[in-house]
Amino acid sequence: MAQQDLPSYQEVVTGDHPGSGHLQTLVLNGRNIVASENTECVLYELNSAPCEAMAHTYSITKVGSRPTSTARQGRASQRRHHLYDFSKKRAFSLKDLSSRVAIEGKASREASYSDVTLAGGLSGWTACTAKGHFAGQVSIRDRLKKFDGIVWTSDDGLIVALETRPTMGEDGVLDGQAQLNIHEALPAKDLDLLVACWMARLWMESKASLEAGQPRSAGSVFNRLWRQQPNIAKLGGSTSTQYAS
């Protein structure tokens, strides 16, 4: 679906857009994804919190429950399925400057897609595309209203989810929680991939935001001062800076 044809976030929420309908809300709580209706129910786990952007590679595990011999007492054991790993993908072409994330399937073919690339937009990660699967972007109408909710669509243009993005203050503290409101029933394999795309997008956006707010490292400052020294000898001379007395 072209961006100019994309309905606003609010139009989907209020049901003004045909086919819209809320089914489930997923909430990111640290490194766990829970259901808003039952925050004690962990649906997915990550090895690290994506909003903190501390890891180089992230793993997504789906958490389920199965009855045990003590099921009569209301207990169940948890089973975990390692679905995906994702990490930043190296660029090999100067013609394509968009940032990319490699999403690698770790489960069976029935449960995960083997190799998916999520590409960010040229202006950042408010837009991204997993070709053949999903795309997420802020609609033009929302941009004009300075609202930054993200509408996720399937490859054929069907609106499948709405993403609520937390805002990050100057102190690096998040205000609110990241949420994904599912608006279309999807096969489990596709829903799991959508969750992986959501986490990868959020990670890259958080990473860029945190890096933009950080001061330059001591090494980069040293290198800048070194290049600016006026009296460095080009061929083996003294590297001391002369000061006027």
Radius of gyration of the chain (CA): 23
Rounded to whole angstroms, how far apart are CA atoms 203 and 207?
A: 6
Task: Provide CB contacts within 8 A for 1, sequence distance 6+.
Answer: 135, 153, 157, 159
Give the distance from CA 220 to its chain's centroid.
28
Rounded to whole angstroms, how far apart are CA atoms 50 and 158?
A: 27
- Nearest residue to 87 via CA among 113, 56, 112, 50: 56
Q: What is the pTM of this model?
A: 0.74
Can you give the pLDDT of all 245 residues of the chain as single tens digits?
555 455 554 555 555 444 556 789 999 999 999 999 898 889 999 999 999 999 999 999 999 865 555 544 555 567 899 999 999 987 665 555 678 999 999 999 999 999 999 999 988 899 999 999 999 998 666 555 555 789 999 999 999 999 998 776 666 666 778 999 999 999 999 999 999 999 999 999 999 988 887 544 433 433 443 344 444 343 344 444 343 44
Identify the pLDDT of residue 165.
86
Rounded to whole angstroms, how far apart are CA atoms 169 and 166?
A: 10
Q: Helices marked H in the chain — which ranges?
A: 9-14, 140-144, 188-213, 218-228
Identify the pLDDT of residue 237.
43
Identify the pLDDT of residue 129.
97
